[in-house]
Amino acid sequence: MGKLICDSTTSSPVIQWKDPTTSPSLDTIETITTTITTTWETVSGIDDQQKRHLQRLHAKGVLWKPPGDDSSAVVFRLSHGGDVDADGNCLFTASRKAIWSTAAPIDARELRRRTVRRFLTDLGSLSGVERSEIDAAIKHMYSPDLKSGWGIHVVQEVKLLAKKQDRDGLDSAIDELVHLGMQRELAAESIYKERCIAVDDSPSWAKYMSISGSPDDEYDIITLQYTEEGLLSVDENREGHAAAFGDDIAIECLATEFKREIFVVQAHGSDAMVDEENCVFFMIKWKLCIFIPISAFYLKSFS
């Protein structure tokens, strides 16, 4: 999964498009010469077919039609903003690079905090029905019903939050069950599910999304993995380095907080058995840029 970011606060030139009712391919867009050079061969974390496709996007630009205005379009230029760590903070570190490019006034952890703060602020203005819908979406993502979903997923995960200060007590409780003859992973599953916080509603999501993998975090993330047959593994995250990956809700809150428009782009490697033309797939929900696992990309309007 990749995410693409552009600066929507920059004034963008309007380009007339001959047929606004169709979605033109990259080959039908006139190539625009630019003085900015991106060396895609040095970009890490992407394979050859992705590099070739991104080079074409860089050369030709990305066409975007404003919603509700079929008479005009804007062409954006794709640029490589630099590498970011392939961890749970990648959304925030890549956003930091894409929004500010050079010296950012805030760090990735502050971006995460402001994203959570925006979520809680907006949550207070929602109706009971709207809040219930958000809670249901959170529960579906992080505390799924393990009786269903197996036609889509091979493995499903349940996220739990353990207070750092409680880890010794949790370990002691698990050891007690092991001494009684219970298998270690089953004992851990039982204790964690009984004593930890399930990520299944708005307040628990705010706690979860605040976790950056820092020693200063209040909670550690515990991940239970299941197959249709039952428990597969327990990631106890003993070092406390696991961070909460930015999800759809975080992306929307981040976009609102910084007045950007964000859309998500899915990038398939050669192992996904898709052809080169379709290795980068634009999902029409947000408007913004790509982060392909460990690289930050951004779009700027052609001048």
Check residues 57 and 5 and name the one with the higher pLDDT.
57
- Chain centroid to Cα 8, Å, comes to 19
Residue 268 structure tokens: 């398939």
Averaged over 80-106, what is the pLDDT?
A: 74
Residues 229 and 252 in one domain: no
Packing angle between helix 202-209 and helix 108-123, nearest 10 degrees? 170
* Total number of domains constituting the chain: 2
pLDDT digits (tens, 9 = 90+) for 208-228: 999 999 999 999 999 999 999
> Does residue 268 share a domain with residue 217?
no
Is the pLDDT at 250 greater than 70, yes or no? yes
Residues 97 and 187 in one domain: no
pTM: 0.75
User: Would you say residue 17 has pLDDT above 70?
Assistant: no
Question: What pLDDT score was predicted for residue 29?
Answer: 38
Distance, in Å, from the CA atom of 216 to the CA atom of 211, rounded to the nearest integer, reads 9
Please check whether residue 154 lies inside any domain of the structure. yes
Residue 124 lies in a domain: no
pLDDT in tens, 24-45: 443 443 443 334 445 677 777 7
On whether both 109 and 7 belong to a single domain, the answer is yes
| Nearest partner of 296 among 110, 105, 96, judged by Cα | 96
Assess whether 230 and 253 both reside in one domain. no
Same domain (yes/no): 19, 96: yes
| Residue 20 lies inside a defined structural domain of this protein | yes
Q: Provide the pLDDT for residue 272.
A: 46
Domain extent for 296: 2-113+248-301
